[in-house]
């Protein structure tokens, strides 16, 4: 026989064998477990300047002079003094600006913002200040936005003024419109040359915030969250819930009510990593629990607040017997009452104490809170690891008993600690079942090998216990702990396993969410920004693709009667499938994590169709590439179509999935 013919025959047979090996059967005749509306969501923690200097649109740092260094963020000249008997009891400091005493001297305070103040030419910015003339009469304050480094004759980008009158504290507001765009502006407030003026809570917001709110969110960043189509929103953390010590834990009651009287709190992320140190990183609480609930309402997702269980950060406090580190179990009443009051704030009638606070803030209708997390990355100890006993679960039980007694429909979320496996995870997982929490929160920041080898993680979990919330996860590259395409693709692969196990996993949120390019402590992150621009990472688009195509019910998808989860013989393929009752679509997700293209066949049993839509996320460049501020759409999902072949009681898709590609197929039933 002709050797060339034999070679071609063998190649053809090998091709058929490869195709046969990658035949995936999707049973669209039988709907599986419901996919929860909360399946894919977002997790917010104030790390990487996510709140002040990020999502929260306030442009002035240390606006109430409450930092330990009261003039942090400010330059002062002339006769400026600090006072502490101001109109707000939780933020008592203010600045007295007296005449400089000479016609050529000036009293002025200048704020540098967060890594500068980003302003856009022609846009309006709302300046506000609480002020008075302590000796009575009138005074004028001049307000400038400036470019200190300009080579022009005038540093001013825009200016305005406010007229202050009387001895009583009042709020004054004006609009300033810069003439050009600049990302490193400063704000100057000039005192009157003839009258002493007191100023407090110096504030500057873009008029164009998310939904146009005065105490609003940065428009592009809030829009990016909305565009993720989240089903659940976990807030406010994270490790800041615990605090490095009890005094600096996140206390939700300090974050509601008038914004001028929300006390400053330390942010543990300003000092956690000395190699990424930000000594002026604090929490103003301008973005507080009311604003978080409001955002959940905007996005149409379920709020999931997390509260302190009385344990400060166990990483930073390894000896729980040290006095003052944790709240003794018999002294938890205040903490438990905070939890009960939070539910009342969210859901209570306007005639209740905390329901009235919500109503007074402009939201008489309840927020319909259904979920509450107790504790963050907490754990117990066994005899081999400290022998300190059930420090977390004994506290969790007290919270659980009190909350279930008053709010039996509320779903409680516990935790299996900071690790996805190991002694602490193995200790806590069965205890979550014993305590009958509704869900428990798993966290895993792991490398490429872990994500590729754990495609079946949830297939063997106990279905009789609590449901799972994958509350923090991301693929961290080995030696490359930053955003890049390859690790994002492996996250997509892992998420097919989350989706396949939707009967067990009810929530999943990538972490962290936000990072300022000049103020980050942790990478990778979903959304990056500077003072004016932002970009969405490839991981963001992975999350968005799943969230926008989560369907309503799982469909069985197998290859050789096995789940497609990167198993031996599956050539790096991962896949899952769902049906969407609202659109009458079968949705198949396929991730090819191999460095070679893979031929696949999708047998869509019970489907009659001739065409499918596709959404493809891949990249022809380096696997280390990522979107950037200058190239925000370098790697984005692309729409397409593919033809189907109609068979007997099924339709068939044959496709060649490129190497390192995530592809979604959407087929109308």
Per-residue pLDDT band at 532 (split at 50, 70, 90): very high
In tens, the pLDDT along 350-389 reads 999 999 999 999 999 999 999 999 999 999 999 999 999 9
Helix, coil or strand: residue 506: strand
Q: How far apart are CA 99 and CA 9, in angstroms?
A: 95
Q: Which residues are catalytic?
A: 377
- 372 within 8 A of 410, measured Cβ to Cβ: yes
Helix, coil or strand: residue 248: helix
pLDDT at 649: 87
Q: How far apart are CA 52 and CA 67, in angstroms?
A: 14
In tens, the pLDDT along 581-599 reads 999 999 999 999 999 999 9
What average pLDDT does the structure give for the chain? 95
pLDDT at 17: 42
- Contacts by 399-407 with C-beta closer than 8 Å and gap 24+? 399/309, 399/332, 399/335, 399/336, 399/339, 399/374, 400/374, 400/435, 400/436, 400/437, 402/336, 402/339, 402/340, 403/336, 403/339, 403/340, 403/343, 403/372, 406/340, 406/343, 407/340, 407/343
CA 89, chain centre distance (Å) = 31
In tens, the pLDDT along 107-164 reads 999 999 999 999 999 999 999 999 999 999 999 999 999 999 999 999 999 999 999 9
pLDDT at 272: 93
Query: Of the candidates 180, 238, 23, which has an alpha carbon nearest to the alpha carbon of residue 532?
Result: 180
Per-residue pLDDT band at 446 (split at 50, 70, 90): very high
Helices (H) and strands (E) in the chain, counts: 11, 35
CA distances from 467 to 39, 188, 374, 433, 644 (A): 11, 53, 15, 10, 37
pLDDT at 21: 72
In tens, the pLDDT along 308-364 reads 999 999 999 999 999 989 999 999 999 999 999 999 999 999 999 999 999 999 999
Which residue blocks in 244-392 are alpha helix, DSSP H? 289-299, 333-347, 353-360
Q: Is 179 exposed, middle or buried (0-12, 13-18, 19+ CB in 10 A)?
A: middle
pLDDT at 10: 41
Cβ density class 460-485: b for 16+ within 10 Å, e for less: eeeeebbbbbbbbbbbbbeebbebbb
Per-residue pLDDT band at 6 (split at 50, 70, 90): very low
Straight-line distance from the first to the last Cα atom of the chain, in angstroms, rounded to the nearest whole number? 48
Per-residue pLDDT band at 8 (split at 50, 70, 90): very low
In tens, the pLDDT along 600-627 reads 999 999 999 888 999 999 999 999 999 9
* Residues of the chain by 3-state class (helix, strand, coil), percent to 5: 20, 30, 45
In tens, the pLDDT along 43-57 reads 999 999 999 999 999
pLDDT over 90 (residue 4): no
Per-residue pLDDT band at 560 (split at 50, 70, 90): very high
In this structure, the number of other CB atoms found within 10 A of the CB of residue 81 comes to 12
pLDDT at 648: 82
What is the average pLDDT across 65-80? Answer: 98
pLDDT over 50 (residue 13): no
- 422 within 8 A of 416, measured Cβ to Cβ: no
pLDDT over 50 (residue 19): no
CA distances from 121 to 69, 118, 160, 304 (A): 33, 10, 15, 38
In tens, the pLDDT along 79-102 reads 999 999 999 999 999 999 999 999
In tens, the pLDDT along 463-487 reads 999 999 999 999 999 999 999 999 9
Q: How far apart are CA 582 and CA 563, in angstroms?
A: 26
Q: How far apart are CA 240 and CA 251, in angstroms?
A: 10
pLDDT at 11: 43
pLDDT at 610: 85
pLDDT at 15: 44
Q: How far apart are CA 619 and CA 616, in angstroms?
A: 10
pLDDT at 516: 98
What is the average pLDDT across 238-243? Answer: 96
């Amino acid at each position: 026989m002709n050797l060339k013919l034999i070679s071609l025959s063998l190649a053809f047979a090998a091709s058929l064998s490869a195709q046969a090996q990658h035949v995936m059967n999707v049973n669209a005749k039988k709907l599986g477990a419901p996919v929860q509306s909360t399946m894919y969501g977002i997790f917010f923690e104030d790390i990487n300047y996510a709140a002040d200097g990020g999502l929260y649109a306030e442009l002035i740092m240390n606006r109430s002079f409450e930092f330990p260094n009261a003039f942090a963020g400010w330059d002062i000249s002339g006769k400026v003094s600090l006072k502490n008997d101001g109109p707000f009891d939780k933020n008592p400091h203010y600045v007295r600006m007296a005449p400089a005493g000479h016609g050529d001297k000036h009293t002025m305070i200048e704020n540098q913002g967060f890594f500068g103040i980003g302003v856009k030419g022609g846009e309006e910015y709302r300046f506000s200040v609480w002020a008075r003339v302590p000796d009575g009469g009138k005074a004028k304050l001049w307000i400038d936005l400036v470019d200190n480094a300009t080579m022009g004759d005038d540093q001013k980008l825009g200016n305005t003024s406010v007229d202050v009158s009387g001895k009583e504290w009042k709020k004054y507001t004006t609009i300033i419109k810069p003439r050009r765009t600049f990302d490193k502006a400063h704000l100057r407030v000039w005192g009157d040359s003839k009258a002493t003026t007191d100023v407090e809570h110096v504030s500057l917001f873009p008029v164009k915030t998310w939904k146009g709110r005065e105490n609003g969110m940065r428009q592009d960043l809030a829009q990016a969250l909305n565009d993720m189509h989240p089903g659940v929103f976990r807030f406010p953390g994270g490790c800041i819930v615990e605090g490095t010590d009890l005094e600096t834990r996140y206390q939700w009651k300090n974050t509601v009510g008038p914004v001028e009287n929300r006390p400053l709190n330390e942010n543990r992320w300003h000092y956690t990593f000395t190699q990424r140190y930000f000594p002026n990183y604090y929490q103003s609480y301008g973005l507080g629990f009311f604003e978080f609930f409001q955002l959940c309402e905007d996005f149409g997702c379920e709020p999931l607040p997390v509260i302190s269980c009385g344990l400060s950060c166990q990483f930073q406090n390894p000896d729980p017997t040290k006095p003052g580190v944790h709240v003794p179990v018999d002294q938890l009443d205040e903490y438990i009452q905070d939890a009960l009051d939070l539910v009342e704030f969210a859901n209570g009638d306007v005639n209740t104490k905390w329901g009235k606070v919500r109503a007074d803030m402009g939201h008489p209708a309840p927020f319909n809170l259904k979920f509450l997390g107790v504790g963050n990355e907490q754990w117990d100890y066994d005899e081999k690891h400290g022998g300190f006993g059930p420090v977390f679960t004994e506290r969790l039980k007290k919270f659980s008993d009190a909350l279930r007694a008053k709010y039996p429909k509320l779903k409680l979320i516990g935790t299996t600690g900071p690790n996805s496996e190991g002694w602490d995870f193995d200790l806590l997982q069965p205890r979550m079942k014993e305590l009958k929490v509704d869900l428990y929160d798993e966290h895993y920041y792991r490398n490429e090998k872990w994500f590729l080898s754990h495609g079946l993680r949830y297939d063997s979990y106990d279905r009789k216990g609590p449901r799972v919330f994958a509350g923090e996860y991301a693929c961290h590259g080995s030696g490359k702990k930053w955003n890049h395409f390859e690790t994002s693709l492996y996250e997509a692969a892992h998420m097919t396993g989350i989706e396949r196990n939707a009967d067990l996993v009810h929530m999943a949120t990538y972490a962290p969410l936000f990072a300022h390019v000049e103020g980050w402590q942790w990478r990778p992150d979903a959304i990056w920004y500077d003072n004016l621009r932002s970009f969405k990472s490839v991981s963001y688009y992975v999350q968005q693709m799943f969230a926008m195509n989560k369907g309503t019910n799982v469909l069985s998808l197998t290859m050789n009667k096995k789940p497609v989860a990167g198993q031996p013989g599956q050539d790096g393929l991962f896949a899952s499938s769902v049906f969407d009752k609202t659109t009458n679509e079968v949705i198949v997700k396929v991730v090819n994590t191999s460095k070679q293209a893979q031929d696949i066949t999708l047998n869509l049993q019970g489907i009659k169709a001739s065409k499918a839509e596709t959404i493809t996320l891949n990249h022809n460049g380096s696997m280390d590439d990522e979107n950037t501020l200058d190239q925000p759409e370098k790697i984005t999902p692309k729409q397409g179509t593919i033809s189907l072949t109609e068979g007997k009681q099924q339709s068939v898709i044959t496709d060649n999935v490129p190497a390192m590609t995530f592809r979604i197929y959407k087929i109308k039933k």
